[in-house]
Amino acid sequence: MRSACAVAVLFASILGTGFAARGEASAKGPINVGLLVPETGPLAANGKDMINAMKLFLEQRQNKLGGRPVTLVIEDDAGVPATGLTKARSLIDGNRIHVLVGPLSAAVGYAIAPYVTEKKFPTLFPIVSSEDLTQRKRSEYIIRTGWTSAQPSHPFGKYAYDTLHYKKIAMIGYDFSFGWEVAAGFQRTFEDAGGQIVQKLWSPLGTADYGPYLAQLKRDVDAVYAIFSGADALRFAKQYADAGLKGKLPLIGGGTFTDEHVLRTMGDESVGIVTALHYSAVVDTPANKKFAEAYQAKYSQVPSYYSEGTYVSCLALEKALESVGGDVDDREKLVAALRKVDLGSAPRGPIKIDSYGNPVENVYVRKVEKVNGKLQNTVVHTFPSVSQFWTYKPEEFLKNPVYSRDFPPCTHCQK
């Protein structure tokens, strides 16, 4: 099932290890970083974005972190939980890595979480956004550098009511936890503000024809909220326009719906869609300008949030390694340093890890626009320093069940 796993050993300068002045850390040899991503299967393109970002970062640092050379080991999880767990074991026990970065799929994330926790292994999750991984089922050893599914949805729900002046919204999205969570966060704050979610439709991953769903979509609403990604996003946006709904019913949604990973191949049907995410390739920060330019130059592609998330994992790792002096053998110390990471200038803006292991970061409301013939997610509003709990008290937030298909309940949905 798998292609040959790519083991990329990036050569360190021989001189670097020879200098005694570098301290004892460098005398211990290279730091082994394991990257667990899908290189085959439906998520392969997004996995490639992650690998690209990691390689770009290491190239920019002359392959050195915390004064020690880095050996990168990449394993392919194919987006399959069982494969992911096997590969995580082989990375940790076989390749003797010191820190694990990945995976991409939430299902793989949940599969490896108990294992890395049991091993007390320092692990960075750049993409997986399942709420409970830094909430009710959090692990001391997993630090996220990405987001929780509802993190951008919370401010966006409020924004949709206060600024976009929508009162009634119909929702359609993925029928599994990612879709439910993104939609639920939006529903909660949108209804808190005074709006009404009058319909929630769920479609399975890989729905070829959205016709039956579009036919059921309520027309007497102010906007339609959609949460998809990848090929599904591409299809949904196109079929929404084909059905004559574009321009009649405004389309808004979760950030992955128009993230650069799919915007690259989208057409004009996506222009005008408003979404919220913790990143856009055109976020106006000096760090992003440098990152996006370097990425574009090396790979002839705009970076996606998969790329940026992995790049930020690298930045966090670098920061933590500096504070522990490159000592990766004391796992507890490394984990503690990672949990304290405070990045003033990541591409997406300032990031601080909260005490649950999730970043507090800006959330951007973005609108798809065509600039110089290219589609981009223009930032129209910034919510600074958004926590995964939004303005709710963490203790009270955690007393609720995790966001799901039925929570919060859809009180305004009519049958």
Partner 1 sequence: MNLAHGSYFLLGGYVGLTTAARTKSFALALLSGSLAVALIGLGMERFFLRRLTRQSLPQVLLTMGFALVFQDLALLVWGGDPYNIAVPAFLAQSVQAGPVFVNFYRLFIIGVAFAVGVVLWLFLERTRAGASIRATVDDAEMAQGVGINVPLLSAGVFALGAFLAALGGVVGAGFIGVYPGLDFEVLPYAFVVVIIGGLGSFHGVVVGSLVVGLLDNFGKALFPELSYFTLFAPMALILALKPTGLFGKR
Instruction: Please state, in angstroms and rounded to a whole number, the distance separating the CA atoms of residues 192 and 161.
Output: 10
Q: Which of 219, 202, 221 is nearest to 210 (CA)?
A: 202
Cβ at position 187, least distance to partner 1 in Å? 18
Encoded tokens for 60: 């920019």
Please list, residue by residue across 253-271, b when 16 or more beta carbons sit within 10 angstroms of its beta carbon and e when fewer do: bbbbbbbbbbbeebeebbb
Site for partner 1 in 248-287 (CB under 8 A): 261-262, 264-265, 267
Beta strands at 359-371 and 349-353: parallel, antiparallel or unpaired? antiparallel
- List the one residue from 115, 213, 392, 407 that touches partner 1 (CB under 8 A): 213
How many CB atoms are closer than 10 A to CB 224? Answer: 23
Residue 56 touches partner 1, criterion: CB under 8 A:
no
Cβ at position 353, least distance to partner 1 in Å? 31
- List the one residue from 106, 124, 226, 234 that touches partner 1 (CB under 8 A): 234
> Quick one: 40 or 382, whose CB is closer to partner 1?
40
Q: With contacts defined by CB under 8 A, how many residues of the chain interact with partner 1? A: 39
- List the one residue from 215, 247, 300, 415 that touches partner 1 (CB under 8 A): 215
> Quick one: 213 or 392, whose CB is closer to partner 1?
213
- List the one residue from 54, 73, 116, 201 that touches partner 1 (CB under 8 A): 201
Identify the three-state secondary structure at position 148. Answer: coil
Sign of CA dihedral 256, 260, 266, 272: positive
Are the beta carbons of 320 and 337 closer than 8 angstroms? yes
Cβ at position 216, least distance to partner 1 in Å? 6
How many CB atoms are closer than 10 A to CB 161? Answer: 21
Residue 64 vs residues 25, 31, 180, 312, 381: alpha-carbon distances, Å: 12, 9, 40, 16, 37
How many CB atoms are closer than 10 A to CB 322? Answer: 13
> Quick one: 213 or 407, whose CB is closer to partner 1?
213
Residue 406 touches partner 1, criterion: CB under 8 A:
no
Residue 373 touches partner 1, criterion: CB under 8 A:
no
Residue 218 touches partner 1, criterion: CB under 8 A:
no
Footprint of partner 1 (CB under 8 A): 1, 3, 40-48, 175, 201-204, 206-209, 211-213, 215-216, 230-231, 234-235, 238, 242-245, 261-262, 264-265, 267
